[in-house]
């Protein structure tokens, strides 16, 4: 007996515990604490119906001018010599506009009567504002913390900016516009394009700050249809800005002028996205005593330097003879060339004076009160 007891303790029955658990818990009552809950299958999403988007209805706008990406920084009379992208790629999107994109603009299909358009704009402006009304609007919108503000950058008066202005006019009768960069070289052109394309009136102008008024009879519910550009179009290719030999000079004279300009002190140092309101006046004043001047544009950027060159060439006027290391060298031109250019400018002004008088005849009262 003593020999059998240690054997039984050393070899216990193998199936005693499994037999106990199998008889104490039945299969029907066993429920583990984290059993998965069966969920109904999610319905598969239906594929979107692309039938209405295949042939979208083109947007028709009654605005009486050609649609361009920028109205103040492009010259409609200057024809490009090439394009970086085919003309069929319209920035308005395929089939979204009833106008054809020519590579630089979307021209008006139906020519409208200019007299009728002018009468409608005058009717929207209504009677001129009184001095008290102007002072009240200026005091409300001229400060930097004004909620109704839009910025005008190096692209100038753009097409999509017009839609931004009309969106501000939904909730306020005036919008504050802060101008920076190259367009500030010619603020008169910026003001003209804003008034012509938006139909409003500028009632305040101080350096680079403008306040654009919507007019007494403006109805936000009947605002003009402005189709938006979905992307910025590629700029076309224009003739070379700086020629190897300047007009009126020989090769040796052009080389000498460039060396003189590079070694002369800089007239001004321009900063990126600055205010260039007084640059044209400074350049004209310097040309009274100097024949060649230099502008330091080291922090401006290459693309902005070319824009400055183009504007100074037409506004000063002058001839850009060198663009190197973001340094602009300008030549005054010869005196006989200046006289010929003044005579041609006078002829152009006399030929277009009748049209200008007709356009400004109805806004004399506005200018007397608002400017």
User: Are residues 186 and 269 part of one domain?
Assistant: no
Q: Does residue 317 lie in a domain region?
A: yes
Q: Which of 116-125, 311-320, 329-338, 359-368 has the lowest mean pLDDT?
A: 359-368
- Among the candidates 213, 229, 262, a domain finishes at 213
User: Are residues 282 and 153 part of one domain?
Assistant: no
Confidence class of residue 114 from pLDDT cuts 50, 70 and 90? confident
Residue 309 DSSP symbol? H
User: Are residues 257 and 166 part of one domain?
Assistant: no
Q: Does residue 31 lie in a domain region?
A: no
Q: Which of 87-91, 113-117, 179-183 has the lowest mean pLDDT?
A: 113-117
Q: Does residue 108 lie in a domain region?
A: yes
User: Are residues 280 and 321 part of one domain?
Assistant: yes
The structure's pTM equals 0.75
Phi-psi group of 56: left, alpha or beta (phi > 0 → left; psi -120 to 50 → alpha; rest → beta): beta
Does the pLDDT of residue 341 top 60, yes or no? Answer: no
User: Are residues 201 and 102 part of one domain?
Assistant: yes
User: Are residues 87 and 209 part of one domain?
Assistant: yes
Does the pLDDT of residue 354 top 70, yes or no? Answer: no
Q: pLDDT over 70 for what percent of the chain?
A: 77
User: Are residues 273 and 167 part of one domain?
Assistant: no
Q: Does residue 360 lie in a domain region?
A: no
Phi-psi group of 325: left, alpha or beta (phi > 0 → left; psi -120 to 50 → alpha; rest → beta): left
Q: Are 336 and 343 in contact (CB under 8 A)?
A: no
Q: What is the pLDDT of residue 248?
A: 85
User: Are residues 263 and 199 part of one domain?
Assistant: no
As a whole number, mean pLDDT of residues 94-117 equals: 89
User: Are residues 255 and 201 part of one domain?
Assistant: no
Q: Are 205 and 138 in contact (CB under 8 A)?
A: no
Sorted by sequence, the CB contacts under 8 Å of residue 15 that are 6+ apart come out as: none
As a whole number, mean pLDDT of residues 169-180 equals: 94
User: Are residues 173 and 71 part of one domain?
Assistant: yes
Q: What is the pLDDT of residue 369?
A: 47
Confidence class of residue 356 from pLDDT cuts 50, 70 and 90? very low
Measured CA to CA, the distance from residue 18 to residue 3 in angstroms comes to: 28
Sorted by sequence, the CB contacts under 8 Å of residue 351 that are 6+ apart come out as: none
Measured CA to CA, the distance from residue 280 to residue 271 in angstroms comes to: 15
Does the pLDDT of residue 265 top 60, yes or no? Answer: yes
Specify the CATH number for the domain of residue 77: 3.30.110.60
**In b/e form, how buried is each residue of 103-140, taking b as 16+ CB within 10 angstroms?**
bbbbeeeeeeeeeeebeebbebbeebbeeeebeebbee
Which residue range forms the structural domain that includes residue 257? 240-332
Q: Does residue 7 lie in a domain region?
A: no
Q: Which of 6-10, 93-97, 184-188, 292-296 has the lowest mean pLDDT?
A: 6-10
Q: Does residue 36 lie in a domain region?
A: no
Q: What is the pLDDT of residue 191?
A: 96
Q: What is the pLDDT of residue 368?
A: 47
Residue 182 DSSP symbol? G
For the chain, give the mean pLDDT: 82
Measured CA to CA, the distance from residue 147 to residue 131 in angstroms comes to: 23
User: Are residues 206 and 79 part of one domain?
Assistant: yes
What does the pLDDT look like over 137-150, one tens digit per residue?
Answer: 999 999 988 889 99
User: Are residues 208 and 82 part of one domain?
Assistant: yes
As a whole number, mean pLDDT of residues 24-31 equals: 53
Domain tally, the chain = 2
Q: pLDDT over 90 for what percent of the chain?
A: 58
Does the pLDDT of residue 307 top 90, yes or no? Answer: yes
Q: Does residue 316 lie in a domain region?
A: yes
What does the pLDDT look like over 204-239, one tens digit per residue?
Answer: 999 999 999 999 999 999 999 999 999 999 999 999
Q: Does residue 189 lie in a domain region?
A: yes
């Amino acid at each position: 007996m003593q020999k059998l007891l240690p054997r039984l303790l050393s070899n216990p029955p193998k199936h005693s515990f499994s037999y106990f658990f199998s008889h104490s818990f039945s299969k029907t009552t066993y429920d583990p604490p984290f059993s998965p809950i069966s969920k109904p299958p999610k319905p598969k999403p239906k594929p979107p119906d692309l039938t209405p988007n295949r042939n979208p209805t083109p947007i028709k706008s009654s605005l009486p001018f050609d649609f361009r990406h920028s109205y103040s920084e492009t010259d409609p009379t200057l024809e490009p010599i090439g394009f970086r992208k085919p003309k069929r790629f319209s920035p308005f999107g395929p089939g979204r506009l009833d106008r054809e994109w020519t590579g630089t603009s979307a021209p008006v299909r139906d020519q409208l009567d200019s007299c009728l358009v002018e009468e409608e704009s005058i009717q929207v402006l209504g009677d001129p504002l009184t001095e008290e009304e102007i002072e009240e609007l200026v005091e409300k919108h001229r400060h930097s913390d004004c909620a109704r503000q839009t910025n005008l950058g190096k692209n100038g008066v753009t097409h999509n900016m017009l839609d931004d202005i009309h969106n501000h006019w939904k909730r306020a009768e005036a919008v504050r516009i802060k101008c920076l960069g190259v367009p500030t070289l010619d603020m008169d052109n910026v003001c003209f394009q804003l008034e012509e394309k938006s139909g409003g009136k500028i009632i305040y102008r101080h350096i680079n700050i403008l306040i654009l008024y919507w007019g007494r009879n403006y109805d936000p519910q009947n605002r003009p249809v402005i189709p938006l550009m979905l992307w910025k179009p590629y700029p076309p290719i224009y003739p070379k800005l700086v020629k190897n030999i300047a007009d009126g000079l020989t090769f040796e004279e052009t080389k000498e002028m460039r060396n003189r300009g590079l070694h002369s002190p800089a007239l001004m140092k321009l900063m990126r996205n600055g205010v260039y309101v007084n640059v044209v006046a400074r350049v004209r004043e310097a040309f009274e005593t100097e024949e060649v001047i230099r502008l330091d544009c080291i922090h401006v950027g290459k693309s902005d330097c070319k824009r400055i060159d183009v504007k100074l060439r037409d506004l000063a006027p002058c001839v850009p003879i060198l663009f190197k290391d973001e340094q602009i060298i300008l030549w005054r031109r010869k005196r006989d060339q200046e006289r010929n250019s003044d005579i041609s400018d006078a002829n152009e002004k006399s030929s277009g004076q009748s049209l200008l008088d007709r356009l400004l005849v109805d806004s004399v009262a506005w200018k007397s009160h608002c400017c």
